[in-house]
Amino acid sequence: MPFEFLISALVTLLVVVDPVGLVPTFLGLTDGVSAKFRRGIAWRACLIAGAILIGAALIGDWLLRNLGITLPAFRIAGGLLLFAVASEMVLGLRLKHTAEEAEQAAEEHLHNMAAFPLAIPLMAGPGAITATILLAGQANARPELLAVLLVVIVAVIGACFVCFAAGDRIGKLLGVTGNVVLSRLLGVILAALAVQFVVDGIRAAFGL
């Protein structure tokens, strides 16, 4: 069970956060700045995003209970939200939208670009937060599974930092075609995971 949960959590968060897919946006945001400043932005963005996702894993379920929202209902809503994100990835709309948002935000908040839009909403956006809360719900208050989820979050955020640090090399290696193919493939995987979240939510809600 812990190994299966590890694989499920790792695949889900890697697909939702998409460290490699964020590289073009990161390069566009930090275009023209020094390598040292670029690493500083990447480090700060990863710290903020990691803190948000860890917080969602630890208190997300508690917050839902206090708001009177059942976990099955959140699974269904979260699955639909993740499916919307997946459809944008498959249709090639996600990177276009995030790039436009990132460019506009960079002009207005040059010194705070690590927090917005890198950490929020690109890394720890609605999809990532939703997936994290859903995975924490699957842990079902089992400390060992929650610990696995926290390790996965740290690993995914670490992967983001590595990709940002090697952004120039990754961009040249994948090229335009590689980025498009990778985004479509990850979108299909995320869509399947989103449908599974909805199915699990319906089963839990109706006791099937």
Residue 87 · residue 10 · CB < 8 Å: no
User: Which pLDDT belongs to residue 1?
Assistant: 62
Q: What is the pTM of this model?
A: 0.71
**Is residue 143 classed exposed, middle or buried when 0-12, 13-18 and 19+ CB atoms within 10 A define those classes?**
exposed
User: Which pLDDT belongs to residue 171?
Assistant: 65
User: Which pLDDT belongs to residue 45?
Assistant: 93
User: For residue 33, which phi and psi values (nearest 5 degrees)?
Assistant: -95, 165
Count of H-run helices and E-run strands, the chain: 8, 0
Tens-digit pLDDT string for the chain (208 aa): 688 999 999 999 998 898 987 887 787 667 667 778 888 889 999 999 999 999 999 998 888 888 888 778 877 887 787 787 677 767 766 555 555 555 555 444 445 778 877 888 779 877 788 889 989 988 877 889 999 999 999 999 999 999 999 877 776 776 767 767 766 776 787 688 778 878 888 988 887 7
Cα 88 to the center of its chain, rounded Å? 14
User: Which pLDDT belongs to residue 204?
Assistant: 83
Radius of gyration of the chain (CA): 17
Domain boundaries, the chain: 2-206
Is-cis flag, bond preceding 121, omega within 30? yes
